[in-house]
């Protein structure tokens, strides 16, 4: 295509195009690419010129055509962004830069580079959709000439096209471009299958030519008789779509009977439904094959009525009924909108209102790029692009489109991130169902919420949308940091209090400098996450001018013995003791520790403990040694007491088969079979139910408290995890001692009778 031919093609549909801009871009691009050659041996500038030609078929504005001529200059020549801005303006410079790959990346794998380049491209698309249109035209011409590329590289490019660019074109409603990208990729990756399907399509077209003409004639005649002027066209399905159907249905190519369909294009929306009435009243429809995408458009703006009839000669025929405007959108997608007749910013605002596809793209880009890791970004992008959709409704009738295989978790996050984070259950069509239930078209979903609830760690594997997965990861990360900060703040506050620090700000500043951190928040987070160990805490104490915070000493103890008939404990290698702030080490404490042996009387805290719980021994001044689990509220009272704190460990070789009592509390939805479901989960974990209390806390929820017998902490942890994954349960936790005592004090027979 010559320079004047390109300009004439643009002027043919846009008489007000800037000829000077097009000519300057043509000359600049040709000069910059100079003597560069493509793999085919053609001058390189043929490629941007052909890309521009593809975009003229989409009737795009002159600025987009100029970008097509310049799109490889920054990446493949000595041209710079500043030079493009100066010669053609910052608008064109920004789009060209958005199309430029990130070449100098400190990345390990090709997948990481691909993900980062895709991330940059999507961000540029979210700013200006013309980046996408030029990129797709660029990829289409590269695929048309892929035969000149070495085979190994050819297959990689074809796979990338199938994974990213073809689905992206489909999401934007550009079906013609999607079909061509998929079919060329299919031909490269599986040439034998492609050739077989092409051969079969040609045979079917030849064999059914008479039937096709008869169906077209009868449809046209019936519609004319009803006063509807329509164009009836036969169409062959694409080879790739046929191959997918063969694989999905596990059938032979010869068994497919619907490879030829018909499009009926009418003048108005009203005529679409009148046409449907004529068709269904003349021929029998095939049950289950009717879809109204006019009433409920697809998210790529596709609108059409689909139906299948048993037509003339008892031949099945697939029909698509649409207006010419709908047909333009179905073929050209987002490019069918008159986007750039006015100024660009005004056009983009209008595009956001007119095109659901672009709104979807921008929202998808927002949650894909806001916080994903490089290795996850590519996976989640493909996940968003590939999935077919199901349409579900909120109780108020709002339509939510989700990928096939989506669950109530995905639905909740699609409505709002806060709803997803606080989701504890769901009603589907008025019935409580597990949050892992796969949603179907037309389902009405009501999300049951608990504002104190946060996503479980296994939700990420249950979610199918990138938005839900990203939100779950973010919520888990925030919760982990919140817990770590809370723990770190307690430790830091205790440290400052113990040493009588008056100027906390100055003390924290000195600590931060010592630990190479910046703020108090950094310090407490590092403490809570375990990134500051006891040696560093020693350094912090020294920074405050305090004496050694921890005193460590090895002591020799006899072999483990049974203590109070509950369990056997053995002394950890080191011990520590705490004193009220500022006091010197008590000689009585030293003496008590020096004389300690396992003949010392031992009292076990009455709180339920199981082997594996972290335990602390408190040695009082009167020589009494009391063992507490680390979660005991009683330990709070010991913080300021003059007593030695000793870390003790379970003797895992002792009483392995002995059972220990612990209480588990949970909030359960009030629905039939809930108690049976919970008890079955407990039985599966091989725990024994010793007692049970039920309370109604609201019309829809009961509190369940089970007193259970378990072997050790590992079994209890597995049980709690299984219960947290049970649909209809929330706030699953190990109960406090007070709650445990309450269960013990209630007579089960009386509770059952009441």
Q: What is the pLDDT of residues 289-330, one digit of tens each?
A: 888 989 888 777 888 999 988 877 777 788 999 999 899 888
- What pLDDT shows up at residue 182? 93
CATH class of 660-753: alpha beta
Give the CA radius of gyration of the chain.
35
- What pLDDT shows up at residue 662? 85
- What pLDDT shows up at residue 109? 52
Highest mean pLDDT among 265-274, 311-320, 672-681: 265-274
Let me know if 373 is a catalytic residue. no
Highest mean pLDDT among 171-180, 381-390, 728-737: 171-180
Average pLDDT value for residue range 396-414: 84
- What pLDDT shows up at residue 66? 93
If phi > 0 it is left, if psi is from -120 to 50 it is alpha, else beta; for residue 177 that is: alpha
Set 18, 57, 76, 83: catalytic member: 76
Query: Residue 378 — very low, low, confident or very high, per pLDDT cuts 50/70/90?
Result: low
Cα 244 to chain center, whole Å? 25
Q: Which of 189-203, 325-339, 614-628 has the lowest mean pLDDT?
A: 614-628
Set 18, 57, 75, 218: catalytic member: 75
- What pLDDT shows up at residue 276? 94
- What pLDDT shows up at residue 48? 93
Q: Which residues are bridge partners to 650 per DSSP?
A: 569
Let me know if 75 is a catalytic residue. yes
In contact, 727 and 435? CB cutoff 8 Å: yes
pLDDT digits (tens, 9 = 90+) for 73-83: 988 898 999 99
Residue recorded with tokens 């829809």: 700
Distance CA 211, CA 205 (A): 10
- How far apart, in Å, are the Cα atoms of 45 and each of 31, 143, 148, 173? 9, 16, 16, 29
- What pLDDT shows up at residue 101? 63
Highest mean pLDDT among 279-288, 328-337, 541-550: 279-288
Distance CA 330, CA 334 (A): 9
Quote the mean pLDDT of the chain: 75
Classify residue 548 as exposed, middle or buried by CB count within 10 Å of its CB (0-12, 13-18, 19+): exposed
Highest mean pLDDT among 91-105, 548-562, 657-671: 657-671
- Where is 734: in which H helix or E strand? strand 729-734
- What pLDDT shows up at residue 306? 93
Q: Work out the angle at residue 656's Cα, subtended by the Cα atoms of residues 650 and 660, and round it to the nearest 5 degrees.
A: 75
End-to-end C-alpha distance for the chain, whole angstroms: 90
- What pLDDT shows up at residue 619? 66
Nearest-CA neighbor of 681 among 725, 713, 714?
Answer: 725
Distance CA 317, CA 218 (A): 12
Q: What share of the chain is helix, strand, coil (3-state, %, to 5)?
A: 50, 15, 30
If phi > 0 it is left, if psi is from -120 to 50 it is alpha, else beta; for residue 34 that is: left
DSSP 637: G
Domain 195-335 has CATH 3.30.460.10: yes
Distance CA 493, CA 490 (A): 5
Counting every residue written for the chain, the total comes to 754
Residue 698: Cβ within 10 Å count: 9
Query: Residue 404 — very low, low, confident or very high, per pLDDT cuts 50/70/90?
Result: confident
pLDDT digits (tens, 9 = 90+) for 577-613: 333 333 344 444 444 444 444 434 444 444 566 776 7
Per-residue pLDDT for 410 more than 50?
yes
- What pLDDT shows up at residue 112? 61
- What pLDDT shows up at residue 571? 39
Query: Residue 186 — very low, low, confident or very high, per pLDDT cuts 50/70/90?
Result: very high
Per-residue pLDDT for 102 more than 80?
no
Q: Which of 260-269, 436-445, 561-570, 664-673 has the lowest mean pLDDT?
A: 561-570
Per-residue pLDDT for 415 more than 70?
yes
Per-residue pLDDT for 114 more than 80?
no
- How far apart, in Å, are the Cα atoms of 711 and each of 610, 614, 715? 7, 15, 7
Per-residue pLDDT for 257 more than 90?
no
Backbone angles phi, psi at 548, to 5 degrees: -55, 130
**Stronger pLDDT, 593 or 537, i.e. the higher one:** 537
Pairing of strands 576-578, 643-650: antiparallel
Query: Residue 573 — very low, low, confident or very high, per pLDDT cuts 50/70/90?
Result: very low
CATH of 3-188, one of 2.140.10.10, 3.40.50.920, 3.30.9.10, 1.10.3210.10: 1.10.3210.10
pLDDT digits (tens, 9 = 90+) for 447-460: 998 887 888 878 88
- What pLDDT shows up at residue 167? 82
Average pLDDT value for residue range 666-672: 86
Per-residue pLDDT for 638 more than 90?
no
Q: Which residues are bridge partners to 318 per DSSP?
A: 261, 308
Pairing of strands 284-285, 305-310: antiparallel
pLDDT digits (tens, 9 = 90+) for 680-739: 888 888 888 888 888 888 878 888 999 888 887 878 888 888 888 888 888 898 886 555
In contact, 232 and 220? CB cutoff 8 Å: yes
- What pLDDT shows up at residue 25? 93
Residue 399, SS3 per DSSP? strand
Cα 539 to chain center, whole Å? 42
Q: Which long-range contacts (CB under 8 A, 24 or more apart) does 31-36 make?
A: 32/73, 32/77, 32/78, 32/79, 33/72, 33/73, 33/76, 33/77, 34/77, 36/76, 36/77
- What pLDDT shows up at residue 551? 35
Supply the DSSP string of 433-468, one letter for each residue. Answer: E-TTPPP-TT-BEEEEE-TT----TTHHHH--SHHH
Per-residue pLDDT for 639 more than 70?
no
Q: What is the pTM of this model?
A: 0.54
Residue 418: Cβ within 10 Å count: 14
- What pLDDT shows up at residue 146? 92
């Amino acid at each position: 295509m010559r320079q004047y031919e390109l300009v004439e093609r643009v002027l043919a549909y846009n008489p007000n195009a800037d000829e000077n801009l097009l000519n300057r871009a043509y000359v600049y691009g040709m000069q910059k690419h100079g003597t560069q050659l493509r793999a085919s041996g053609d001058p390189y500038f043929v490629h941007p010129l052909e890309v521009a030609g593809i975009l003229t078929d989409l009737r795009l504005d002159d600025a987009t055509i100029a970008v097509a001529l310049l799109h490889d200059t920054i990446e493949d020549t000595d041209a710079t962004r500043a030079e493009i801005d100066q010669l053609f303006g910052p608008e064109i410079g920004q789009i060209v830069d958005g199309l430029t790959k990130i070449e100098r990346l400190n990345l390990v794998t090709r997948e990481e580079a691909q993900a980062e380049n895709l991330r940059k491209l999507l961000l540029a698309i979210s700013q200006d959709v013309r980046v996408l249109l030029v990129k797709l035209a660029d990829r289409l011409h590269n695929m048309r000439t892929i035969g000149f590329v070495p085979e190994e590289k050819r297959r990689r490019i074809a796979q990338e096209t199938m994974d990213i660019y073809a689905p992206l074109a489909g999401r934007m409603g550009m079906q013609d471009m999607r079909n061509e990208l998929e079919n060329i990729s299919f031909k490269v990756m599986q040439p034998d299958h492609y050739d077989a399907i092409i051969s079969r399509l040609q045979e079917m077209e030849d064999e059914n030519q008479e039937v096709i003409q008869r169906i077209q004639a009868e449809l046209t005649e019936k519609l004319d008789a009803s006063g509807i002027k329509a164009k009836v066209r036969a169409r062959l399905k694409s080879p790739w779509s046929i191959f997918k159907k063969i694989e999905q249905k596990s059938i032979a190519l010869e068994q497919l009977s619907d490879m030829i369909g018909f499009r009926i294009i009418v003048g108005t929306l009203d005529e679409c439904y009148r046409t449907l009435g004529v068709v269904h009243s003349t021929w029998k429809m095939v049950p289950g094959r009717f879809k109204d995408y006019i009433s409920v458009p697809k998210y790529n703006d596709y609108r059409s009525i689909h139906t299948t009839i048993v037509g003339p000669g008892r031949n099945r025929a697939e029909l698509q009924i649409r207006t010419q405007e709908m047909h333009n959108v179905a073929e050209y997608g987002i490019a069918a909108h008159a986007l750039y007749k006015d100024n660009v910013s005004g056009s983009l605002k209008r595009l956001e209102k007119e095109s659901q596809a672009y709104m979807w793209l921008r929202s998808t880009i927002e949650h894909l790029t806001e916080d994903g890791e490089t290795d996850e970004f590519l996976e989640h992008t493909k996940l968003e692009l590939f999935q077919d959709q199901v349409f579900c409704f909120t109780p108020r009738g709002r339509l939510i489109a989700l990928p096939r295989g989506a669950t109530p978790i995905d639905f909740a996050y699609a409505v709002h991130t806060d709803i997803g984070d606080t989701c504890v259950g769901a009603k589907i069509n008025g019935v409580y169902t597990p949050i892992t239930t796969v949603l179907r078209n037309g389902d009405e979903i009501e999300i049951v919420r608990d504002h104190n609830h946060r996503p479980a760690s296994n939700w990420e594997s249950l979610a199918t949308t990138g938005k839900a997965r990203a939100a779950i990861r973010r919520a888990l990360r925030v919760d982990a940091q919140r817990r770590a900060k809370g723990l770190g703040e307690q430790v830091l506050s205790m440290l400052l209090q113990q040493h009588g620090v008056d100027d906390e700000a100055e003390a924290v500043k000195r600590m931060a400098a010592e630990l190479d951190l910046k703020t108090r928040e950094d310090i407490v987070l590092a403490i809570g996450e375990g990134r500051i160990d006891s040696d560093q805490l020693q350094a912090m104490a020294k920074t405050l001018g305090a004496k050694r915070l921890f005193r460590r000493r090895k002591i020799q103890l006899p072999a483990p013995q049974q203590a109070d008939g509950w369990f056997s404990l053995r002394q950890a290698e080191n011990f520590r003791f705490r004193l009220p702030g500022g006091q010197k080490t008590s000689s009585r404490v030293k003496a008590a520790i020096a004389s300690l042996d396992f003949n010392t009387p031992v009292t076990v805290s009455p709180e339920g403990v199981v082997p594996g719980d972290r335990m602390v021994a408190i040695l009082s001044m009167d020589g009494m040694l009391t063992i507490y689990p680390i979660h005991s509220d009683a330990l709070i009272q010991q913080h300021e007491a003059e007593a030695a704190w000793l870390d003790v460990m379970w003797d895992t070789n002792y009483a392995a088969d002995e059972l220990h009592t612990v209480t588990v509390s949970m909030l359960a939805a009030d629905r039939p079979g809930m108690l049976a479901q919970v008890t079955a989960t407990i039985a599966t974990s091989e725990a024994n139910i010793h007692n049970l209390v039920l309370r109604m806390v609201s019309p829809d929820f009961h509190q369940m408290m089970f007193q259970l017998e378990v072997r050790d902490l590992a079994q209890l942890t597995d049980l709690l995890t299984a219960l947290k994954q049970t649909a209809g349960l929330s706030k699953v936790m190990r109960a406090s001692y007070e709650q445990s005592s309450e269960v013990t004090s209630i007579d089960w027979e009386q509770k059952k009778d009441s």
